[in-house]
């Protein structure tokens, strides 16, 4: 553990898995820093109207009573984002930072922090990557291609390069979206990205770097919103009960 650690846990990525883990660990009184490339995409769904129903005990389930539910059983993605962001910002031991993480900071083979694009290092006792479909992501729509995990959201190219240099095995994955859009719709896109190979993990822990953990799509591969949230909850339990290294 670095004496410079300002946080018990730094979570990179504010999607379903990252927000879920951040809320649970911080509500237990631990000092958590949630780093996201955009405050406007915290808890962002891959479709405009995700189902209101959610796994028991998850953050989305807790937020459900605050959201207007349509007759088809869905809620607005923007409304869900706003409710989740507000909930996270009210937790006293949780800090939310808009920044881009380019690399890990390590000491003696253990992760002790993250290096940001802005050049300001952030230190923590444990680091968790919940970066979804953004590791070296390429989004293709028609003949165009951009370095993004979703339209307008930059990929984590430098972080993927850093993980590979540290011996973390990455393998390709892909999905198409947005959910519910026809294959012939001009808004349809394909996202190709990297996830950590299961051979390089032990549960949520990364074998090659001590004190580094994963949750959500970057650990499981393409999964739905509810599955990512459940994995974020499982990561939080790991952080709180110390069942993994």
Is the residue at 43 inside a domain? Answer: yes
Is the residue at 63 inside a domain? Answer: yes
181: left (phi over 0), alpha (psi -120 to 50) or beta: beta
Q: What is the pLDDT of residue 63?
A: 83
What is the number of domains present in the chain? 1
Residues paired with residue 204 on neighbouring β-strands, in sequence order: none
Is the residue at 104 inside a domain? Answer: yes
Is the residue at 1 inside a domain? Answer: no
Residues ≥6 apart with Cβ < 8 Å to 71: none
Is the residue at 23 inside a domain? Answer: yes
Q: What is the pLDDT along the chain (245 residues), one digit of tens a residue?
A: 344 568 999 999 999 899 999 999 999 999 999 999 988 888 877 767 877 777 777 888 888 778 888 888 888 788 888 888 999 999 999 999 999 999 999 999 999 999 998 888 999 999 999 999 999 999 988 778 899 887 778 899 999 999 999 999 999 999 887 666 666 666 677 889 999 999 999 999 999 999 999 999 999 999 988 889 899 999 999 999 865 44
Q: What is the pLDDT of residue 79?
A: 86
Is the residue at 2 inside a domain? Answer: no
Q: What is the pLDDT of residue 4?
A: 55
CATH number, position 96: 3.50.50.60
User: Which residues form the domain of 20?
Assistant: 7-241
CB 25 within 8 A of CB 239: yes
Is the residue at 220 inside a domain? Answer: yes
Is the residue at 211 inside a domain? Answer: yes
Location of structure tokens 């004496």: 3
User: How far apart are alpha carbons 203 and 237 in whole angstroms?
Assistant: 12
**DSSP string of 49-63, one letter each residue:** S-BS---TTSHHHHH
Q: Is 140 exposed, middle or buried (0-12, 13-18, 19+ CB in 10 A)?
A: middle
């Amino acid at each position: 553990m670095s004496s410079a650690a300002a946080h018990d846990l730094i979570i990179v990525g504010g999607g379903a898995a990252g927000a879920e883990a951040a809320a649970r660990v911080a509500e237990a009184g631990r000092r958590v820093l949630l780093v996201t490339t955009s405050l406007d995409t915290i808890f962002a769904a891959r479709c405009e109207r995700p189902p209101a129903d959610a796994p028991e005990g998850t953050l989305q389930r807790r937020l459900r009573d605050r959201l207007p539910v349509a007759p088809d059983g869905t809620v607005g993605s923007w409304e869900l984002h706003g409710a989740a962001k507000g909930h996270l910002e009210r937790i006293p031991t949780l800090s939310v930072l808009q920044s881009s993480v380019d690399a890990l900071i390590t000491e003696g083979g253990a992760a002790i922090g993250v290096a940001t694009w802005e050049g300001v290092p952030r230190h923590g006792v444990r680091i968790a990557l919940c970066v979804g479909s953004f590791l070296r992501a390429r989004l293709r729509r028609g003949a165009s291609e951009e370095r993004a995990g979703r339209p307008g959201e930059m990929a984590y190219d430098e972080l993927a390069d850093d993980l590979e240099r540290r011996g973390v095995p990455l393998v390709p994955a892909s999905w198409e979206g947005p959910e519910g859009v026809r294959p012939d719709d001009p808004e349809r896109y394909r996202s190709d990205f990297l996830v950590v190979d299961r051979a390089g993990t032990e549960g949520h822990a990364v074998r090659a770097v001590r004190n580094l953990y994963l949750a959500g799509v970057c650990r499981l591969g393409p999964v739905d919103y509810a599955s990512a949230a459940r994995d974020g909850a499982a990561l939080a339990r790991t952080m709180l009960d110390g069942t993994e290294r």
